[in-house]
Amino acid sequence: MPQTDFKNAQTYLSSQILGQEKLVNRLLVCLICGGHLLVEGAPGLAKTKAIQTLSNLIEGDFQRVQFTPDLLPSDITGTEIYRSQTSTFEFQQGPIFHNLVLADEINRAPAKVQAALLEAMAEKQVSVGSQTYKLDDLFMVMATQNPIEQEGTYPLPEAQLDRFLIHCNVDFPNAEQEKQILRLVRGEQTASVAKPDTLLTKASIFEARKQISQMHMSDSVEDYIVHLTMATRQPEKYVPSLANLIEFGVSPRATIALDQVARAYAWLNGQDFVAPDDVMNVAHDVFRHRLLLSYAAQAEHISADQVIDKILESVPVA
């Protein structure tokens, strides 16, 4: 059963990545949905280790790419190499041709590199010259951003942010978790959960995607999702106090994403239906990178999360 396999994977990952249960959950949710994950957090919070550990549980391969200002699009997509023996050009695949790709510090790369990644994320293909190359059906990008150091960075454009299914903020572990991390690193204790015997195969991942699409969702929960979306576009109708704080609401892609992510979240929790609480639990991660706040909100240091909090408080569950 795919559900059991994913639950075992989640339990094992949480035993390896201490204090980051939310990151582990969102990684698996994105994998189930076939989407991409943007992770924002300070250095040293096991963002890289999380996706590397996940790659060891999957029937697929992993590639890490360190984004820097001098990176070229061909460093991501690949390039054509001239073979003098045959007097022909041969395409050599870049790191994007892997199942799991970690784009480390994605906002340090210039616009051309980000644009090359955008096509791969949106269309699952890469264009080089006049040729188009398809990526594998199992393809996921996890990109990281450092919220502290912004010097020498290139902020991601809204079009690219919208391609990420989830934007997950990770925080520091608590004191008890920090103590467990110390002991685990020193070898004084081992992970309490053994690595699962069976890998997550492509067949089980695609079966999971099929199962979440068939989960029961009542009309009232569908209406709730739509009303949350509309509240970002017509705040004066739903939450008048937000009318001057939101410049642009979320796109229809956000509505689709909220539906998919809520289904995957409920499925991972062993449910066979989607409840309003499932929608509320994932709304911040789906909306925060898609909301464009006004200058008034920025001047008052109001964050997207605060706006989403107000929307969740004000929009009733049907």
What residue spans define the domains of the chain? 2-186, 215-314
Structure tokens at 293: 């706040």
Q: Which residue has the higher pLDDT, 289 or 88?
A: 289
Q: Which residue has the higher pLDDT, 145 or 31?
A: 31
Give me the pLDDT at residue 198, please. 80
Burial class (CB in 10 A: 0-12, 13-18, 19+), 55: buried
Give me the mean pLDDT over the 292-315 stretch: 94
Give me the pLDDT at residue 18, please. 86
Q: Please state which of the ranges 14-28, 75-89, 156-170 shows the lowest mean pLDDT.
A: 75-89
Interval 204-225: pLDDT, tens: 999 999 999 999 999 999 999 9
Position 80 pLDDT exceeds 90: no
Q: Which residues pair with 32 in a beta bridge?
A: none
Name the band, by pLDDT with cuts 50, 70 and 90, for residue 146.
confident
Neighbours of 79 (CB within 10 A): 16
Query: Could you give the CA distance from residue 89 to residue 63 in angstroms, rounded to a whole number?
Result: 25
Query: Could you give the CA distance from residue 255 to residue 294 in angstroms, rounded to a whole number?
Result: 21
63 phi and psi angles, rounded to 5 deg = -145, 135
Position 22 pLDDT exceeds 70: yes
Give me the pLDDT at residue 1, please. 67
Query: Could you give the CA distance from residue 261 to residue 180 in angstroms, rounded to a whole number?
Result: 30
Give me the pLDDT at residue 15, please. 87
The pLDDT mean for the chain works out to 89
Beta carbons within 8 Å of 258's beta carbon, 6+ residues apart? 225, 228, 229, 279, 282, 283, 286, 287
Most confident of 36-50, 135-149, 303-317: 303-317
Give me the mean pLDDT over the 126-149 stretch: 85
Query: Could you give the CA distance from residue 72 to residue 157 in angstroms, rounded to a whole number?
Result: 18
Interval 238-297: pLDDT, tens: 999 999 999 999 999 999 999 999 999 999 999 999 999 999 999 999 999 999 999 999
CATH class of 215-314: mainly alpha
Name the band, by pLDDT with cuts 50, 70 and 90, for residue 111.
confident
Name the band, by pLDDT with cuts 50, 70 and 90, for residue 191.
low
Name the band, by pLDDT with cuts 50, 70 and 90, for residue 199.
confident
Q: Which residue has the higher pLDDT, 165 or 109?
A: 165
CATH architecture, domain 2-186: 3-Layer(aba) Sandwich (3.40)
Give me the pLDDT at residue 150, please. 62
> Look-up: residue for tokens 């909306």?
287
307-314: which pairs have CB atoms within 8 A and are 24 or more residues apart? 307/242, 307/245, 307/246, 308/283, 308/284, 310/239, 310/241, 310/242, 311/228, 311/231, 311/232, 311/235, 311/238, 311/239, 311/242, 311/283, 312/228, 312/280, 312/283, 314/231, 314/238, 314/239
Give me the pLDDT at residue 147, please. 74
Beta carbons within 8 Å of 253's beta carbon, 6+ residues apart? 162, 290
Single-letter code of the amino acid located at 287: F
The edge-to-edge listing of strands for the beta sheet with 140-145 is 62-66, 100-104, 140-145, 37-40, 166-169
Q: Please give the helix or strand (H or E) that residue 78 lies within, else none.
A: strand 78-83
Q: Which residues pair with 83 in a beta bridge?
A: 88
